[in-house]
Structure 1
Amino acid sequence: MAPAGALLRRSLKAYQVYGANTDVGKTIFTTLLCKACQKFRPGEDVSFLKPVSTGPQEEADDWCSHINTYVPGVATKTLFQFEDPVSPHLAAATSKQATPSDHVVLQSIRRHVSDRASSQPGWLFLETAGGVHSPGPSGTTQADLYAPLRLPVVLIGDSKLGGISQTIAAFESLRIRGYDVETVLLFQDSHYDNHTYLSQYFAGEHGIPLQAFQPPPRRSDRQSDVRAMSAYYETETETEQAPDLVDRLERSHQTRIKTIETMAGDAYRTIWYPFTQHGRLSPSRITTITSAHGDYFQTLVPDSENQPPGDSLLQPSFDASASWWTQGLGHANPKLTLAASYAAGRYGHVMFAEAIHEPALKLAQTLLGVLQNPRLSRVFYSDNGSTGMEVAVKMGLRATRQRYNIDNATKLQVLGLKGSYHGDTMGAMDSTEPSVFNEKVEWYDGKGYWDPLFQRALIDVVRTFPELLHTRHTVDASSQGPSVWTGLPVIFDEVFTGLGRLGPLASASFLGAHPDISVHAKLLTGGLVPLCATAASESVFEAFNSQHKTDALLHGHSYTAHPVGCQVALESVNTLQNLDSKGAWDWAKQGWEQRPADRPSSGAKAADSLPHVWSVWSNKFVTQISAHERVEGVWALGSVLAVHMKDAEASGYTSNSAAQVQQELLAGEIEQGDSWNVHSRVLGNVLYIMTGQMTDEVDVQRLQKLLARALG
């Protein structure tokens, strides 16, 4: 089944009706909307959809029959009906029918919308059940369940006692999940007068119009009630409010489409893109992202202007670069969103020098525990991986100069790996060998030696034989404990590789070695906000510890340890820990069982301490594509897959050999009538794809199938 996508068709003006509470009149207002659209847009199709309903079948039919009674000609539909008149998650649990997954519910809605859009131009109103956070069949609250659809919302406010609070709370729940609330409707109640306060609140604070309608009359007998309701709907749609409401929803729909379709052209004239040669760029090559959820962007379908009006303007695009390696827990993850909202509401941003707040302290303590490195005891916060690496290099250089009493006139350099890359700030750039990334940067001055040895071998050499470093003073630090560095301090850049991207939470464990300084970003916050943590040993810290201000680590950022980032990171790290401990990746590990011959032979104890090497990409698939005639080699570890393409004319970053496969992935495929594709980045002759840490096996298999086809 294809991934669920957002709903936007040129021919179908679709709106989701949410209620601030139960019994606020959702069906009455939906009936008003249907009647008004039918009355003021004659000739346009009007339809009503109830995705989930509970109670006896005749009661479910009442929702539809109510609309059919008072607005004849409206197409009505209920997708999932459960007999027990309780919350959908309870009704589904006691039902004889299988509980539909969230994905099945969303795809069923998408299929119904597709059918309606292909018939003729018109309107569709999707009515939810209960309040904003009433659970769906699986137990996921509706606010989260329906978020991937990204339908604009008509919010029905609560006119009863306590309704002001209920309505605002419902609005805020929708807002922080990325819903666009287009209008608020509610009944007038002269006793509580909620509509007066809420009108000022929504219009004044958020620019959202509110319309208050008279409540319907109540009659004791069925016939009188039907006559009264018929008169009510006629009267209310005769007011000025009704055509104004329809016009506003119509304009909103058209504006939404126009905005999305002109974004690429506007961006082409306005934005200076990173890592992009604008001489080779055109608006058609710019991907318009309208929203994101889970592993997928929702992107504008190419050439949408020339599509049939019933076709979807948006398609799901798998985020195969994990948004530049940052995403791991899914876009719009509600836990991370709430963590950010909590910290923003409690702190905003506060300065950090010689101060502390709980998120920063808890994160530092948690991160040190997760890394399980006995050398590390201090955490220094910065704003991204590149600056975090600059901090690490500053730490290492100062610690070395102090220990060996090297005068300031002597320039120190780094020992780095060939082909390494640590970011684009000057210090991080100078810590790498010359490459395409820095060859035209005027201030670049590579300060190091690029040793191509294996990392563990390099670590052993610098720690075991300090006399090879030509220092004037050697220090035997081994007697001072295992956390004190010897030879030279060792820095690990785990900005990309750490916290589960390659499998273990600390990729240093692959080497069976503990660095003196370790840098972590990207997955640290699940990709939601920038934050970096540079962890260091106490002996490195002591190199800066004195009574003189100039001896301090004079490095910082205005947003150092910002509470929002720290709170989100704390939630992210805890989630990653839980995923690992609960066996979320067992399905992937089982395909990469290690044989005794695969284990290192230099000491059984050391071999047993190394982590299990595995990949979410199947062993069979990796073996298959590695033998492809266009492929030079394949590298798979954890969530990452890197395919090195053959190129007889160019190599490395200047090669274009991976671009054709990238375009094939972008073209995507049609699955059960729905299109989806893969948005990826290439590094010259290397096509890399990575999943999130919560991507399931089904999506990985779908990606493998498409990639195999793209390779031909």
Structure 2
Amino acid sequence: MTSISKRDKKHIWHPLTQHKRNPDMRGIVRASGSVLYDENGKQYIDGIASWYTAMYGHCNPSITERVYGQMQKLDHVVFTGFTHEPAVRLSEELLKILPKNQSKIFFSDNGSTSTEIGIKMALQYHHNLGRKNNVLLAFEEGFHGDTFGAMSVSGLSVYNGPFEEFFIDVERIPIPNLNNIDLILKELQALILEKDIAGFIYEPLVQGAAGMKIYEATALDKILSLLKANDVLLIADEVMTGFGKTGKNFASDYMLVKPDIICLSKALTAGLMPMAATSCTQIIFEAFYHDEVAKGFFHGHTYTANPLACTAALAGIELLNSKTIQGNIKRIIQQHEDFIGKLGSHPAIESSRQCGIILALDLSLPMSRYGNLRDKLYQFFMKNGVFLRPLGNTIYVLPPFTISEEELNKIYEVITKALAHFGTN
């Protein structure tokens, strides 16, 4: 029988792939816990939880069994004019763990649409109140998704280049640190006077696609405080950081100033089903609550609040709240800290950093984001049975909460081998 990978070549166009340079895809036939199994029998430890989704391990039976049970009762129903128990319960459970100022949940399909919705909410909020605030504020090198609004506020041109002339109006500021925060605040005060800013979208504490760049909560709090005082809506993109990865339920929990809007996806459904959610405060919702129909929020997706996805999310939140997972998070954080300590001032490492279970190492060796050398590093990891996707010269680890101590040590061992191998090139 022809292999999955050979059959794939005939018809499939993969994301983030230049097929002329990367023609071959590995056929994965099974996944369990922290391990992926390919069609040739090779195993790979999933060191990034399949883009930060399968945080409770692949095919976790406590999740799959709940979804199977839901399949017997209600598979899907349109979410306009109808509601159902899984969606109602999920809204209740989300609001228990989200920052206390959140009040409403709007469901959609994926991370990009969750941020797209947050952007649209902010723009229409001001429109409904009779204001012409149509400028958005974002960090340099932020990434918020691939739909047009999300691309507009993203600062990585490798993804956005051909489309930039079509974008909405965005002003960008650097990520803050103790050295530049005063300058940023001064720049912001000028922007607030010059521009009609509707909202500020930000990845709290960790810029994922930019290379897991980590910045201080105290510096971000100063920015949020100034913007909040000037009626700029705060849109926290927690698609990557949400659900325990930073050591707290949400990265926003580290700041005193809470967002007006929060965008969620990825780990929301534990990697089992596509779904997203955008939460907001009651004040925002009330700006859309009106006798005039056009002031409603006319955004919808066919699979909004799919009952199976809601059930997977409910099972995931239950696991997140469990003593076992909370204990695992603490153990992984400690293992990361110990590994960084053992590496010390390794000659092949330019810098290292950690936030919760997110670990990142920058190699001293320069690499382009999708260049030949970076591809060789990726293949080195795969050959050694570890699935990691370097972002240029940044190696990052963001494992499932269920990864064993031995599996995580295997990842560290392979990274150490890679440092020795590529550090001499």
TM-score normalised by L of structure 2: 0.83
Matches of 1:551 and 1:485, distance apart in 2: 25
Matching residue of 1:421: 143
Do the aligned partners of residues 687 and 536 (structure 1) sit closer, same or farther apart at CA in structure 2, a change above 3 Å counting?
same
Matches of 1:694 and 1:378, distance apart in 2: 31
Structure possessing the higher radius of gyration over alpha carbons: 1
Matching residue of 1:644: 362
Deviations 1:379-425 (A, max 9, x none): 0000111001011011111223444x324xxx712110111001111
Do the aligned partners of residues 631 and 657 (structure 1) sit closer, same or farther apart at CA in structure 2, a change above 3 Å counting?
farther
Cα displacement (A) at 1:682:
2.4
Do the aligned partners of residues 428 and 556 (structure 1) sit closer, same or farther apart at CA in structure 2, a change above 3 Å counting?
same
Q: Which of 57, 60, 65 is matched with 1:338 structurally?
A: 65
Within-5 A mapping of 1:470-481: 470=194
Do the aligned partners of residues 485 and 627 (structure 1) sit closer, same or farther apart at CA in structure 2, a change above 3 Å counting?
same
SS in 1 for 2:161: coil
* Structure 2 unaligned blocks of 5 or more: 198-227, 421-425
What count of residue pairs does the alignment treat as equivalent? 386
Matches of 1:455 and 1:339, distance apart in 2: 44
Cα displacement (A) at 1:485:
7.6
Root mean square deviation, CA, Å: 2.8
Matches of 1:357 and 1:617, distance apart in 2: 42
Matching residue of 2:79: 352
Correspondence 1:440 to 2:165: no
Tell me whether 344-353 or 432-441 shows the greater mean CA deviation: 432-441
Do 1:658 and 1:686's aligned partners in 2 also have CA atoms closer than 8 Å?
no
Cα displacement (A) at 1:532:
0.7
Q: Which of 112, 118, 123 is matched with 1:397 structurally?
A: 123
Deviations 1:522-551 (A, max 9, x none): 111100001111110011111211111111
Do 2:102 and 2:280's aligned partners in 1 also have CA atoms closer than 8 Å?
yes
Q: Which of 397, 400, 414 is matched with 1:692 structurally?
A: 400
Correspondence 1:292 to 2:16: no
Cα displacement (A) at 1:666:
1.4
Do the aligned partners of residues 466 and 513 (structure 1) sit closer, same or farther apart at CA in structure 2, a change above 3 Å counting?
farther
Correspondence 1:362 to 2:70: no
Cα displacement (A) at 1:496:
0.7
Cα displacement (A) at 1:294:
0.5
Matching residue of 1:679: 387
SS in 2 for 1:535: strand
Do 1:399 and 1:489's aligned partners in 2 also have CA atoms closer than 8 Å?
no
Within-5 A mapping of 1:223-372: 258=1, 262-283=3-24, 286-301=25-40, 314-371=41-98
Matches of 1:663 and 1:499, distance apart in 2: 30
Cα displacement (A) at 1:270:
1.9
Do 2:336 and 2:359's aligned partners in 1 also have CA atoms closer than 8 Å?
no
Matching residue of 2:296: 552
Within-5 A mapping of 1:11-90: none
Do 2:49 and 2:400's aligned partners in 1 also have CA atoms closer than 8 Å?
yes
Cα displacement (A) at 1:635:
2.4
Do 2:54 and 2:400's aligned partners in 1 also have CA atoms closer than 8 Å?
yes
Q: Which of 263, 269, 281 is matched with 1:537 structurally?
A: 281
Matching residue of 1:705: 413
Matching residue of 1:61: none
* Structure 1 unaligned blocks of 5 or more: 1-257, 302-313, 474-483, 589-614, 669-676
Matches of 2:138 and 2:37, distance apart in 1: 40
Do the aligned partners of residues 438 and 382 (structure 1) sit closer, same or farther apart at CA in structure 2, a change above 3 Å counting?
same
Letter in 2 for 1:387: T
Matching residue of 1:228: none
Cα displacement (A) at 1:442:
6.7
Matches of 1:495 and 1:388, distance apart in 2: 8
Cα displacement (A) at 1:638:
2.4
Matching residue of 1:378: 104
SS in 1 for 2:38: strand
Matches of 1:263 and 1:440, distance apart in 2: 32
Do 1:656 and 1:684's aligned partners in 2 also have CA atoms closer than 8 Å?
no
Do 2:288 and 2:297's aligned partners in 1 also have CA atoms closer than 8 Å?
yes
Matches of 2:177 and 2:290, distance apart in 1: 33
Do 1:298 and 1:316's aligned partners in 2 also have CA atoms closer than 8 Å?
yes
Do the aligned partners of residues 555 and 443 (structure 1) sit closer, same or farther apart at CA in structure 2, a change above 3 Å counting?
farther
Do 1:645 and 1:657's aligned partners in 2 also have CA atoms closer than 8 Å?
no
Cα displacement (A) at 1:585:
3.2
Do 1:626 and 1:633's aligned partners in 2 also have CA atoms closer than 8 Å?
no
Letter in 2 for 1:665: F
Matching residue of 1:431: 153
Do 1:466 and 1:486's aligned partners in 2 also have CA atoms closer than 8 Å?
no
SS in 2 for 1:282: coil
Do the aligned partners of residues 530 and 586 (structure 1) sit closer, same or farther apart at CA in structure 2, a change above 3 Å counting?
same
Do the aligned partners of residues 667 and 343 (structure 1) sit closer, same or farther apart at CA in structure 2, a change above 3 Å counting?
same
Correspondence 1:659 to 2:375: yes
SS in 1 for 2:162: coil
